[in-house]
Structure formats: structure tokens, C-alpha cells
Structure 1
């Protein structure tokens, strides 16, 4: 999984499986045993644009504000959108968002923004939140968006994506954007519900949920189990008699179990989430033996989040949060050559932290946010060893501290003019102090026209893997504890025009300048890999988006992005950087209680490490019912409807320069509210 090139590679964990599966199945049984009547959630996709523009978001400034008043461009994906378009993972959702593209290497999904997706980057330049709580782990700083993501999409109320640098309010990793997944409450899923899915390549999924409200208290419990056998895959790079003709048979399997609990009582709230995912590696990455069924990775994540919110006065609110997190990575990597055989590599990450935040409008014309955060990474362990004969190759143990203070002020200069300013100071025991500002001017030119201009800075601190991972043998990696933080300066201009109550047009232009970019390079003397601050890059472009809603419930969102990202030293276009992106999502009711959702996506050609990935376009179609019988809903999806052949660029660890993606596939989902 990790982006080093070593001629074997990282690890796994075979314990925990049976224990985790037992409590997941027990939770499923408990949930299904309870039955209460319930009503379907309201269809936000049918709201007129005027109401959607007045929707409130909390991710852009850490306080509630209208979308039109946010200092950044905000994309909102609702639960109704997720249902209408049949999205299965967070990666599927983000593929539909303006300016974003996703790369898949048959193990993990990697997210790119505005022409920028570095090979070997595990989404470290995005901050991933669940209900405002940071999920990026302590070793790799990665944001998990595939089947290893903590929360089932059926439990998501909406997803807010805030583009641009957000370190002035969130600190590290809010480099290209902030993704905040806001989960549903027990009142959104009252009583007992169950869902079962089946699809191509042996995919099947079972979810059971139970929501309960009693006076001021409410609780939501949900458990999900997912299995996919996977399809046989052909890789021409391994097409020889000793490798089964280049066919990886039943090695693309995917298994995930998750548990989610959310509750509140008065001013107190509590969330608990757990996910364990096992994924096969059909690509034989890191020079593994092709076709060996032992090769796989396991990702285990857990979080506990406790919150308290109190209205100190009519114009002042206090929020307190205490959280704990865990991320374990294990991989088994199989090799033919002795003495390697089976190599195990992995990490153990544990942290706890807290935040205190005060929001006040006591000063006339100002909306102030003052906050402080602390995080203690009390375990940042990395290891690597050969199984038999046993040989320890890496045993690195670290800890870390991060604390910060931030201040944000939304200033009403005039009735039609807002100034949003923010400043945050972060201090870590490895990178020292860093300040990150942001300033945005929001001008309501007319009731239907809004103009925004914003400038901001952000940073990404080198993670423990980039600094301290080291294997000394051939093809290994040398540590570099002297790495500096990456910096970005961003300027964006945006115009938003509302045409009546049913149409919105948005246009934006941006320029991002990145310095001290961390890149993986090979030492010409000994061939060992290492991470260095080598590159500087500039990305600039323009985006255009149209949203339209019809009175009968149809809804359209379409966007086009033009972007160019280049290395400032060489002038070369960055790898995996498409020049053009096109997105179209159209959903409409038809025939009584049915709804159809059609999705079209286009990516232009991209540079790969050794060539180019051709341009492609895809179409997906989902048909879903509001109700076919009391409490019963049905949905059917066809993905890659026209069976287009396309590929994503591989990374340094792959023998494949281009990795083929799935052809046409389907999914059928049945949901029942007891």
C-alpha cells in the first residue's frame, strides 16, 4: 500500500478478523430484532435552487452560514443524491464533484483536485472529517475514501466539500480541500431498517439500522457487512507461461465490516465508529510474485468522539469535543525468491485529542470564532519483517504532539458586503510553528448575483512514514527526518448567478502555487528511495457549473473544469493531471414513485509515469423507487453503462504503467423499514 519501492513490501494482520466479524453479526441481529414504523426521508433533490442556495453549511468557517456567504466554493451532496445516483463509496461521490478526479489502483482510491494528484500520495493533501472530527491518521496522514471508509453511505445526511486551502481554520492536511461527512440522526432513520444488496463479481452487502428517540435523548445503531469476490483480471505485463498467462484469478476480493453508533442527550453527544477492510492485491505491486493469493492488505479504523454544546448567552455558544482514534495497517506481500517468501509490513497509530470552540455575535457586525485544539499521537509505530525465516527489517516507534489556536471573524461591512478573515497558529514537536491566514470578500452585487474573492495559505506537514520509514537493502528506502512542510498559496475569484428560483450558474478561476513539494526520489549511488523537498508546482484553471431544478422534481447538476498543473522547475505537465473534466448528473421522477438518475463523466488524457492514459467518458444509470410497498424500496444501478474500456495511471510500485478499470457492472438493492 505505501508508496515506497521495495522489492517486497508491507504487511497484514490475521488476528482480529473473527472477533470483529462476531460483534458485527451480533449487532446486525440485534438491530433486525427491533421493529417500528417509519417514514422515508425527505427528498432534498426536489427542492428549488433558491432553497438549496439558502442551505446552511458548517465546514467552511466552523460556524453555520449560508452557502452563498461561505468564503470558499462549497459543494453539497445530499442523501437524496446518494440514493438517486446509486453511489456505493465516498470515492464514487467525490468523482461527481466539480474539479475532483479519482484514481484506483485495484487496492485504494486516490483523490486529485484541480489538476493535482501526486503518485504515491495517500490523500494526505485533503482533510477528511466525520461530523467535524478529523480522521487522517497519525502515521500516513491519509484520508480513506474507498470501502475502508468508516461510515456506510446509507448513514450519511450530506457531504460538504470545501475547495481550496483551509489551514487557517483546520490546520494540517487542509491543503486542497476539506471533506466533511455529516451523518444522519436517529430521527432521520426511526425504527428498524434493513438493506440487502447484490451485484457483479459476487458483490453482496447487508446493513441493519435502528433509530430510537425518547424525549431529549436519541440513539442510532447500524452495522454493515460487505463482500465481493472480485473479477479475474488480465495484465499483459505478466503474460508468460510461468504466470498463468497474465490472469489474476479471484485476487481482486474485497471484504469490509463496519459498526456505527451515534447518540445525544441534551447538550451531550457521542459517536463510535469502526471499520475493518481486507483487500486483495491482483497487480503484484512492489515486485511481488504474480498470482499469489497470500498478497493482501488490511485496514482497521476506529473512532470515539464525545461532545458538549452549551448556549452561554443568546449570542454566544460554547462547544467542547474529546476524541480518540485508531488506525492499523497490515499487508502480506508474497515473493518467490528466497529468503523473502512472505513479508509483512504495517503500522499502528493511536491518538487522542480535544477542541474548545466559542462562537459569538456579541460584537455588532462581527461573527467571531475562537478555538483551540490539541492532539496527542501517543503511538506512531511502523514495522517490517520476513515471516520465515524470521528477519526483522524495521521497528520504528514514535510519538507526536500538535496544538493550535485559531480565530475567524465574519465582518459585515455593509448589507451587501462581507469580509471573512481567519488566522491559525499550529505548533508540532517535529515542524515547529506555522501561521496560516485566509481572507475572503463576498459581495452581493444584486439579490441574484454574488461575487467572491479569496486568498489563503495552507500547509501539509511531512508524516511519520515519509520521515522515518527505512529499509536498507536493495530497493529499500532511506529515512529523511529533515523534511520541511509543504506550503500552498491560493487565489480564487468566483461569480454566482441565480436565474429565477430554479437555476444557478457558477464560474470560478483559481491559481495555486505550491512550494517545498515532497517527492519520492531514488539515490543514484545506492538506489535507495527517499522523500525530499524537491519540487515546486503551479496550477491554474477555471470551473463552470450549472444547477437547475424543475417543479416536478427533476434536478440537473453539470460542470466543466479546465486546469493546467506544471512543475515550475522543468515546465512539464504533472503526472496524472487531466486538462479537462466534465460532469453531468440528472435525476427525474417517472412512473408513479420511481426515480431515474443518470450520470456522465469525462476525463481528458493524462500523463502516466511512462506514457499517457487515454481520455475516456463513462455513463452510469440508477433507477430507484420511493416505495413499491409499505416500507419497501428497490434500487437498481448499471455502472459503466456502455462498457467503455479505460485505465488509470499506475504508480512507481506497479509493473503496470496503466491499470485497467472495470467494465459494465450492476447492483440491485432492496431496503425495508419495519
Structure 2
């Protein structure tokens, strides 16, 4: 082992009894019909449990004056742009988006319904500056002109209801059909771009994404939903929620999904195309729930996926399949303690885990058949304490402590049926302490000062500062000037790759960003925003295509513009346009960075056709050309259309066509694999039936 390798992990040779992960997976042998009957039985049981009339929360008396909640603002008639929407991601405390110390973009549950979004990846593609590609098994996220190969989404920090959700193997989160969160359970997604390490520590490199899930007030009793599409994907979902007045509340949702005959991502010989596509199959299920009583909140989630990907062993071409099995779980307990009007403490304790196994056949030089096995297993515990103080006039002081203890970090590589050739074990912990002061200097001026100290087993102690100035020039105009920094430490996946190729682990990568944002409500129906940013990136961790190992690359300079406009008409029309221009280059070279589009465009439009219960929606998404190592991929434009019909309070029907013009476009998420062609038009149908309110 090279002397330069840190005490992050140990590479060692040891025998290991191979385990069949599928033997421990419930329902692994069940077909879709059996799972459907299971969910229908659960539906019946849920309706029995929810016989009591659903209790609405008591409204505040008219004499009380309070800021409107996001849910109230989303119910605002569509002839006015919502104002003073409350968010939490920008400053770790609830405040108006207009006065928050960063620009935050929102996708709501209403957007998910109107545009019939199926995965978290589709939700994120509505966000300015985000571009997503897929290799058929994993979705890769590019942000603000940087979409490096093999980074596995580790430059974004993901939160679920404010709790860190990045795993402890690749510091990533799954966002495709394999995401632990069902999009129908999402209340909203908040995206705050820019460095966020001064509040959140490691991985908040290009921004922070907070996925806020629905509670009892939005799940409404018992509901059953069915989704089908022309690619034979089918999903069945059940949720039920119950509130015992002034006592407790609970909710539970379960879903099962099957995708047979998935279109091939790479061309195959004509005589094998049908056979290989019939073997391209995915099925998964999710379970989410929560319970709340006396201020204590418990939430849990579990998901499991099995994916078979056809491959061909060359010379002669022999059809085979690669099997992927994965499972993830997380649960958390939290409570907010309010000691007085000046002091409150928010405490959260969570535990998460993942298991991944890939079996892939291959031939050695003598054409002998073997099955390569890769396993990743992780388990970690996270505790977070945040203290808020309002004792000083015009100040909101926040102090926080976070600690993550990795209980299990392990990657094994070898051949199935034999002891592992390599085992990489981690034993890491991360500790962070942060301070922040939101200081309202004058009624129209707010200054935000903050800093965080982080330490871990895998990297040096790092301090990241932050400063922001918000000027409410008028009631309709806001100017924000922000400067911050962030870092990311190499993860276990990157370490194991370098250990296999006998290369040292790269040092942490760093970024500094300055951003100027302007938001203006021209009328109650029309607003626009502009955000200019400039970033300097040093020691970027990237894979070297010639040695197959991760290195610290050359310094990068990135700058760009996010522009958006929103209009809501008197006939309840809604029009939104987001355009992102981004330019990322090596400081000592003139060429653009690979796999990084310069322009991204999103156009969203919806309006009632005959009455407010029959809504037509349109989405256009455009991506400019991108450079790769060997070629230039052309840009493309995709169009999606959808109709949402609320037949009654209990029944809702949705019909949509995605990639309406059947545009052929290419992605290249992998550094060495050829570009992936996408062109399938998809017809989607969804039905939601509320069985009991």
C-alpha cells in the first residue's frame, strides 16, 4: 500500500463468504400481480383504520397576524404571482425567499401533478442550471456548467426534510427510479445554488437540495394511484393518513413499480435486439411513513430495486445480463424545544444505510466465463443540534453542531464464488460547528455573517466563511450580494479506485463564488429575476482517462447567468421561462470543460381549457451542444404535453406525452463508453382515487 494513502481505509486481502442478497429481500420472487393484490389488501386495511372523519387544523383567528405558509400561498389564485414564500434551505431557518441570503428555486407538488413528473431527476431538471444524464442505471447531475464524469452527484448536498441524505460510500444520492423518495410524497423541492459549506459542511459544493415531504395535511386520508405508460412501466401506490385531534397523527405510503422491456441504451446486433430488450428489466418498491405526537416526529423510509441490464460478450457475441440489487433505508427522530420567545433548540437524530451488489459476466483472455461481483455496504448515524436566539434586537443568531459517525463503510471486489480479491474498509467520522448572524441593520438592509469549522478522519480541518447583503430597495425589488466557499473531500469510492491502480488519494477540492442577484415584481402578475455568478475552483477531483485514477485537476474558472420570468394571467394562465448561460474553462487553457453545456432553457406553461378542473400543461427543455474527449454532441430540444382532469374531489386523471416530437438526442455520462442515444416518445397515464378523506 503506498505510503501516501491516509488512514481513511485499509486495503486488505481476506476470505469472505459470498452472500446472496436476494435471499434476504422480501417479495424478491413475487410478480407484479401478487404485489398489486398486496397493496389492495393494505388499502382495505387502511380504509378501516381511517374511518374517523379527517380533522382539519383550526385556523388562526382573524385578530392574529402571521406570515402566510407555503401551502396557503400555493392555493393563491393563479392570477397573481405568490409573494413572501417561506423557505429554510438558504439559512437553515424559516424565512421569506425574498429576504433569504441566497437565491432559492422551488418545484412544488402542484408542478409534479401538472407536468406528470415520475422521478426526482425529472423534478430537478426544472431547476435553473441543472442538467441530468443517465447511463441506464444511474443519473448524473451537472450544475452550472460542470458535469464531470464519474463524480456520482457528490458535489450537491441532499437533504430530506432538512436531514443530510448523502450516503457514506460515494457521498451521493440516487435521483432516478431508484430514489428513496417517491415524487408523489414530495411537498416541494428547494434548490439553493452556490457554495453552502459555511452552513452544511462537506458536499455542499455547488448547492443544497432540500426535499420536503408531505405530512398528514396534504395526504388526505386514503388514496390509491396507478401510473402506466407506453413503455410498459407500471406503478401502483397507496397512501393513508390519520390525525387524532390534538393528540397524534400518522401516515404511511407504499408503492411498487415495474419496468419491463426497457429500450436498450447501446446498439446490439439485429438478431439479438428483441432478446436483449426482453432481459432489460427493473422492479422496485418503496415504503415511507411517519408518526407525530407531543412535538416528537418519527419518519422512516425504505426502498429496494432489482435491475437486469443486458450485455454481450464479444467474439463471438453472446447475450448475457448484468444483475444489480440495491436497498436503502433511513429513519429519524426530531423535536423542536421552545424555551422562550428568545430561545429554541432543534434536535435531530437519524440513521441510514445502503446495500449494493452488481454481478457482471466477463471473459478472460482464454474466453473462460467468470462473474465479477462488486458489493458496497454502508451504515451511518447523524446527530444535529441547532440553537436559535433572538435576544438581541434586529439579530437572529444561529449556532449548530453536527456529527456523523460511519458505522459501516465497505467495498468488496472479486469474482462470484471466490473470496474477494480486494476489500476496502472505512472508519470515518465528521464533526462540524457553525455560527450565523442574520442582522437587520436597517428595515431595508440585512447583513448575514457566518462560518463553519469541519474536521474528519479523511481530510484536514477546514473553516469556511460566508457573507451576504440583502437590500430591499422597495417592496417590489430586492438586490442580493453574496460570497461563500465550499469544499469536498474524496470519498471511499474514489479511494478504492485509486488504491486498485496504486495511486494516492487526491486532496480536497475547493470553490469560492461571488454572486449578485436581482428580483423585481413588475406587477402583481409579472416578475423577473437575474443572478450573475463567478467561481474559482481549485484541486477539482476528476478521473484521468489515461491512468484510470482520480487526480486533482487544473484550476477552473466559471461564470454565468441565471435569468427567469414568471407571469400569471387573469384567466389563470401560468408562464415560466428559465434560461441559464454558463462558461467553465481551465484557467490555463482556452477549451471548455467536457460534458458541460453552455446553455440550458426551460419553458413551462399551463392554463385551464374549459374550466378550472381541466388544465393543459406544456414543457420545453433545451440543452446546447457539449464537448467530449473525442467528439461534440449536438444540442437538442424536447417537448412534453400533459392534461390534468379533476373529475371530482375523489378522482383525478392525467394524460401526457413526453418527447412529443420523438427527438433523437445523445448523452455521454461515462468517460470511456460511447454516447447513449435517446429518442423514445412516451405516453403516460395516471389515475388517482381518494378512497376516504
Pair in the same fold by TM > 0.5: yes
**Native 8 Å contact 2:79 2:570 kept in 1:** no
Q: Secondary structure at the match of 1:402?
A: strand
- For 2:326, the equivalent position in structure 1 comes to 299
Matches within 5 A, 1:148-163: 148-163=178-193
The 3 A distance-change label for structure 1 pair 515 and 284 is farther
Q: Are the equivalent residues in 2 in contact too, given 1:513–1:539 (CA < 8 A)?
A: yes
Cα distance, 1:235–1:30 mapped onto 2, change above 3 Å? closer
Specify the alignment match of 1:18 in structure 2.
26
Match of 1:379 among 405, 408, 411: 408
Query: How far apart in 1 are the matches of 2:75 and 2:557?
Result: 36
Q: Over residues 405-463 of structure 1, what are the superposed CA-to-partner deviations in whole Å (9 max), with x where a residue is unaligned?
A: 01111110111111112111110012121011111111111111111110000011110
1: CA distance, partners of 2:388 / 2:225: 40
Is the Cα contact below 8 Å between 1:348 and 1:380 reproduced in 2? Answer: yes
**Residue in structure 2 matched with residue 480 of structure 1 by the alignment:** 504
Map 1:143-292 → 2, pairs under 5 A = 143-215=173-245, 216-233=247-264, 235-236=266-267, 238-239=268-269, 244=272, 248-282=276-310, 292=319
Structure 2 unmatched runs, 5+ = 1-17, 57-70
Please give the secondary structure, in 2, of the residue aligned with 1:610.
coil
Residue 29 of structure 1: how far off its partner (Å): 2.9
Distance 1:39 1:622 in 2: 33
1:368-402 deviation line (CA, Å, top 9, x unaligned): 111100110121100012124x2522112221111
Rounded Cα–Cα distance in structure 1 between residues aligned with 2:575 and 2:402: 40
C-alpha distance in 2, partners of 1:118/1:94? 17
Q: How far is the alpha carbon of 1:313 from its aligned partner?
A: 0.5
Give secondary structure in 2 for the equivalent of 1:68: coil
Q: 1:191-226: CA deviations, max 9, x gaps?
A: 111001111221000000010101231111000101
1:228-260, Cα deviation, whole Å (9 max, x unpaired): 113343734x5488xx37984234322121000
Give distance in 2, aligned partners of 1:288 and 1:412: 71
Query: Which residue does the alignment assign to 1:659?
Result: 676
Secondary structure of residue in 2 paired with 1:577:
coil
Alignment equivalent of 2:481, drawn from 446, 453, 464 = 453
Q: CA shift at 1:44, angstroms?
A: 2.2
Say yes or no: does 1:30 pair with 2:30: no
Task: Return the match for 1:327 from 343, 354, 362.
Answer: 354
Pair 1:232–1:365, CA change in 2 (3 A) = closer
Change (3 A) 1:106 1:434: same
Q: What is the Cα deviation at residue 484 of structure 1?
A: 1.0
Equivalent positions of 1:236-635 (< 5 A) are: 236=267, 238-239=268-269, 244=272, 248-282=276-310, 292-337=319-364, 338-339=367-368, 341-388=370-417, 390-469=418-497, 477-478=501-502, 480-481=504-505, 483-521=506-544, 529-592=548-611, 593-626=613-646, 628-635=647-654
Deviations 1:490-535 (A, max 9, x none): 0111111101111110011111111111121256xxxx52211123
Q: 1:67 aligns with which of 80, 92, 97?
A: 97
Out of 94, 98, 101, which is 2:124 matched to?
94
TM-score by length of 1: 0.91
Over 3 Å counting, the alpha-carbon distance change for 1:300 and 1:260 in structure 2 is same
- Looking at structure 1, the residues matched to 396 and 177 of structure 2 have their Cα atoms a distance apart, in angstroms, of 39
Does the 8 Å CA contact 1:282/1:291 hold for their aligned counterparts? no
Aligned match of 1:673? 690
Distance 1:212 1:608 in 2: 52
SS at match of 1:641: coil
Unaligned runs of 5+ in 1: 1-9
Match of 1:53 in 2: 83
State how far apart, in whole Å, the 2-side matches of 1:12 and 1:122 are.
26
Q: Is the 8 A contact 2:312 2:320 kept in 1?
A: no
The whole-number CA distance in structure 1 between the counterparts of 2:140 and 2:98 is 29
Aligned equivalent of 2:15: none
Q: CA deviation at 1:609?
A: 2.7
Distance in 2 of aligned mates of 1:462 and 1:357: 27
- What's the C-alpha RMSD, in Å, of the aligned pairs? 2.6
Query: Aligned partners of 2:629, 2:339: CA distance in 1, in Å?
Result: 56
- Does the aligned pair in 1 maintain the 2:107–2:126 contact within 8 Å? no
CA separation in 2, counterparts of 1:180 and 1:24?
31
| Distance in 2 of aligned mates of 1:288 and 1:89 | 38
Give the SS at the match of 1:80. helix
Contact 1:32 1:208 in 2 (8 A): no
CA distance in 2, matches of 1:151, 1:20: 20
C-alpha contact (below 8 Å) 2:468/2:481 kept by paired residues: yes
C-alpha distance in structure 2 between counterparts of 1:260 and 1:24, whole Å: 17
Q: Tell me by how many angstroms 1:16 deviates.
A: 3.1
**2-structure distance, mates of 1:469, 1:289:** 30
Question: Are residues 283 and 20 of structure 1, via their aligned partners in 2, closer, same or farther at CA, if it must alter by over 3 Å?
Answer: closer
User: SS at the partner of 2:353?
Assistant: strand
| 1:335 alignment partner, SS class | strand
Distance 2:634 2:229 in 1: 28
- Measured in 2, the distance between the counterparts of 1:410 and 1:288 equals 66
8 A Cα contact 1:608 1:650, kept in partner = no
Judge conservation of contact 2:436–2:448 (CA < 8 Å) in 1: yes
Paired residues of 1:343 and 1:387 also in contact (CA < 8 A): yes
1:150–1:81 CA distance, 2 compared to 1 (3 A): same
How far apart, in 2, do the equivalents of 1:291 and 1:54 lie? Answer: 60
Give the 3 Å change call, closer, same or farther, for CA 47–74 of structure 1 in structure 2: farther
Deviations 1:38-85 (A, max 9, x none): 799989275458662311001111100100111111001111111001
C-alpha change, 1:91 and 1:425, in structure 2 (3 Å) is: same
Q: How far apart are 1:557 and its partner, in Å? A: 1.3
Q: Provide the rounded CA distance (Å) in 2 between the counterparts of 1:57 and 1:415.
A: 20
Cα distance between partner residues in 1 of 2:566 and 2:426:
48
Contact 2:545 2:671 in 1 (8 A): no
